[in-house]
Chain A
Amino acid sequence: MRVRALVIRILRQIIRDKRTLGLLIFAPILILTMLHLVFNGDDYVPKVGLVDIPEAFEKQLDLDDADITKYTNIESANKDMEKQLLDGYISFENTSPSIVLEGSDPNVNGATIKWLEKAFAPLQPTGSHELNVAFIHGSEDMSQFDYFGPVLLGFFIFFFVFLIAGVSFLRERTTGTLERLLSSPLRKSEMVVGYIIGFGIFTMIQATIIAAYAIYVLGMLMEGSFIYVLLITLTLSLTALTLGILLSSFANNELQMIQFIPIVVVPQIFFSGLFNLETISPWLNWIGPMTPLYYAADALRNVMVRGYGWADLYINILVLLGFSALFMFLNIVALRKYRKI
């Protein structure tokens, strides 16, 4: 069977190319591990200075969880702050405490202000008790990594499948093997199907390894079913594959294929939910619903963070399949350029 021969050939080629194989599996693992370490790192410990604070007052403050340095005057505190040894300091002016922050890094500011609120809590006269916060999804322990994770998982699979499929189809064209395929009785539709199954099998393996690593080794939040994660990544990779093959028709060499990354792949990250979509300027927010990653990221987040099932996923999956069908149709049309029947 012709499609089977094509599938076997594609798998053989991928397996022979050890370096690309390594890139497809270990590059996402490496990046996810690094992000895990970056976002799941320990809480930031603010470095706070106390400038000439009366001892009675200091005793009332909760000074845990911060690096405390004591200063006798504001000048020396300012000097340390310029050297970035200090994130902020508390001083007394006219018997009321005043706070100065270094202020160049918003994340550090946030952590320092949070700490200050806690430190001053014992002084609050109303005895403000701790708020009891309930979570519908996620938890207090949920880190940024858990929120980004599903989007990144989808992104890596999209990115690598897009690139590898596009380049391998491009090579088929530039080495003349496409011409040889087309001088055989292989139908254009069989060719597209063969490519989809060949890369589909490979993507399933790739997605399983990457997702299993992220969930079971890195401990990424996983509320829903693993099968849904695989289903979503498979449909996403189908979209990436068909789009990669389609765009490879418009590239003359590998470098031109890579030029599609900043145009086609990177912008999708911005609209896929890595950043809050509601704050994106209305001039641009219509782009999101036109990109495949938007639907895949939403579906992955629904499964992994919110634990949703099929009823909440099928629309996204249908949209992804719709994208694939469109690209597939355009591929068959584009192949007419090479053989008229």
Chain B
Amino acid sequence: MLKTFPIGGIHPPENKITSSKGIKRMPVPKVVYVPISQHIGVPSEIIVDKKEKVEIGQVIAKSSGFVSSNIHSPVAGVVTKLDKIIDSSGYKKQCIVIRTDVKNETNFEEIDFPLKTKIELEPKEIIQRISDFGIVGLGGATFPSHVKLNVREDKKIDCLIINGVECEPYLTADHRLMIEKAEEIAVGIEILLVALNINKAIIGIENNKKDAIDIFKKVTQNNTKIQIAALKVKYPQGGEKQLVRAILNREVPKNGLPLDVGVIVHNVGTIFAIYEAVQYNKPLIERVVTVTGKKMENPDNYWVKIGTPIKDLIEEVGGLPEGTRKLINGGPMMGKAIKNTDVPVTKGTSGILVISEEEASRGKTENCIRCGECVFVCPMGLEAHLLMNLAEKGMFEKASNEDIMTCIECGSCSYVCPSHRPLLDYIRFGKNSVKKLETAKK
């Protein structure tokens, strides 16, 4: 019996077209657009000026609060302007535009370090380095990693969980990374174990990635600290709370964090970034991005510099196919539709999905037939139909009492609704309004 979480969940078609394609390196873009708000929390503070020359890896915007992160220049070049560019939030956000210096060789160096297993730093130094080098959660939530690692003294941690689930359909970035960099990730896990001063880590991988499971089993053969947990394929297993429940059978309390049950969860991509930062002083300036879509000519996985405009990626895989109706930053379940191809890749971009007419259009919204399917699939045990109704009618206080704030926005309810009701749209609206009400009360 494979492990999984008990309530709700769905199994959308996986469509992992690119799972057998090795990660290639994206050519260095001519211009990069680096948004200063790539993480959850306070936007970073710009510390470069127009026309200033920057080196690759130089800090160009520094952390400006507790929950914030440094941002480094992904290329060596010249800051051409500080402008507002539409990013995947759908709004124009402050951006640092850097023109790549084509003569500077550092831009084109292959960044492929040899494996280095010896950990030389003290726990405090490790966390400091993670903070300095701008590491954030690469699974999509982009929560600054050092904040997660700074565990308060009264909390006891006994287990580190590595999220290699990648439950989103289409995306294969984490999958490929696990296959190609298994040894490095294992070292990265060791680094975090040192930083947290614990000796148990479990890597959770869904059973549709058997090759990754096998590789990790081989790599960690002689390592008693790291275990592998093969999980049943079920969306949204990559949600922190679901993953902790699936692997350890511990349930994170309502409004709580995995920290409350003694667990810290990190994504495999984050672990690799931590490995590179700690062992080789490499800041987070590139990440793996899956560029995919059913009609794409050659969908693939790429190492992409942060700030690369999406149109460069699409050109690289053969341009937009005929009949493209939707571009998604992320996976099809939780990704954001973007307005145009000028949107840059950010630290949270795990994939670019191109969707054609047939899949893009939403079905016509019909009356709720009260089938209850949204209730059965909700991994948080919420009643989506009820929450939607309450939000639509503006009864936000009641919605709050029905635990609307615990919704993880996985989209399972909208996915299964036979009447194509925009459940999650309204629930998100309800959450926003509840948040506003709460801040107004304070």
Query: A and B, one complex?
Result: no
**Interface residues in chain A, defined as those with a beta carbon under 8 Å from any beta carbon in chain B:** none
